Structure 1
């Protein structure tokens, strides 16, 4: 089992990188979240998950161990394979996915391509407790209620802003100012969008 691979990035795409280490080029699948972190870098250290099946051996690389841990939790859910988990981590950042699972936000999980209602519900049921324990161990905030997020998001969408960028801005605002009221979130978001 590999823990990480460090080396020179010889090719970087939104779906994979080729990381050269001591004359060997490793083809490593990545998420968009990791791709964003690797942009404009010449060298990298990726934390590895080695996915072995009868017909294939694949490497999945992550910029941080927290993302890899979330990936491993996702593939432990029945019906979610490595590529689906990577798609989830490409559509939602680890923080967004963590919050969606913790707050049982089925719609946000369902917004990922290829994830239906039953799969989204299964992810929440199987991972909610595990995510909560992981958050306590890493001293991450455990969200209590997502009504503020939904109200602010629907207000921004009604004002003509796109849903995905609005969601990211709202999450950023709440991360910096967790006690913000809905009106404050909307005001800050309007300045940032």
Structure 2
């Protein structure tokens, strides 16, 4: 098992990062919260999770152990795969998710694209006790300050690219992202994607 990858961040989008370590470039799927934590950095350390399927070996990277732990808990829930778990951790931070689960806030979970009432209830029922016993909530670092991106078009293109990588069609993604940016032109890309995840059909 790969515990973490530490090296130079050679490429990063809101959904994907490439870290070069000892001449090897590792491609890792990341959440928006990890993107917030590593953008504008040269050297990074990402905690890894390897998803091994018949057709592919996929690496997921996390800026903190706590986020990886939440991801690993989420994928133990029936009906929640790796991409859905990443979607949830893109819509809210690991600390926010802990709070949502521990307070039984299924309405908040349902705002995440692809999470219906049954899945939200299952996540809460399955993970409430696990979170309490793991003491993961107390380990959460303070929220990361998000820096506003300067170029609107760049933000738009990155947001659409991230949504496409998360499995959404480019056309509806572009429509939702454009609408969000016309109302809030100063939003950073990760916030645009978070809002889009709640609105996109």
TM-score, L = length of structure 1: 0.71
Query: What residue in structure 2 maps to residue 72 of structure 1?
Result: 72
Q: Tell me, what secondary structure is at the counterpart of 2:114?
A: coil
Q: Distance in 2 between matches of 1:86 and 1:39?
A: 18
Question: By how many angstroms is 1:140 displaced?
Answer: 5.6
Query: What residue in structure 2 maps to residue 156 of structure 1?
Result: none
Query: What residue in structure 1 maps to residue 158 of structure 2?
Result: none
Q: Tell me, what secondary structure is at the counterpart of 2:68?
A: helix
Query: What residue in structure 1 maps to residue 60 of structure 2?
Result: 60
- What CA deviation, in whole Å up to 9, does each residue of 1:47-95 have, x standing for no partner? 0001001111000000010100000000000000000000000001111
Q: Higher RCO, 1 or 2 (CA under 8 Å, sep at least 6)?
A: 2
Q: Distance in 2 between matches of 1:15 and 1:52?
A: 19
Q: Distance in 2 between matches of 1:20 and 1:140?
A: 29
Question: By how many angstroms is 1:39 displaced?
Answer: 1.3
Q: Distance in 2 between matches of 1:85 and 1:138?
A: 17
Query: What residue in structure 2 maps to residue 178 of structure 1?
Result: none
Query: What residue in structure 2 maps to residue 40 of structure 1?
Result: 40
**Which stretches of structure 1, 4 residues or longer, exceed 3 Å deviation after superposition?**
137-141
Query: What residue in structure 2 maps to residue 113 of structure 1?
Result: 113
Question: By how many angstroms is 1:28 displaced?
Answer: 0.3
Question: By how many angstroms is 1:134 displaced?
Answer: 1.6
Distance 1:138 1:108, change over 3 A: closer
Query: What residue in structure 1 maps to residue 94 of structure 2?
Result: 94
Gaps of 5+ in 1: 142-161, 166-193
For the aligned residue pairs, the C-alpha RMSD in angstroms reads 1.8
Matched, 1:26 2:26: yes
Question: By how many angstroms is 1:139 displaced?
Answer: 3.8
Q: Tell me, what secondary structure is at the counterpart of 2:74?
A: helix
What is the number of equivalent residue pairs in this alignment? 142
Q: Distance in 2 between matches of 1:79 and 1:108?
A: 18
Question: By how many angstroms is 1:123 displaced?
Answer: 0.2
TM-score, L = length of structure 2: 0.68
Gaps of 5+ in 2: 141-183, 188-201
Q: Is the CA contact 2:66–2:139 (under 8 Å) kept in the aligned structure 1?
A: no
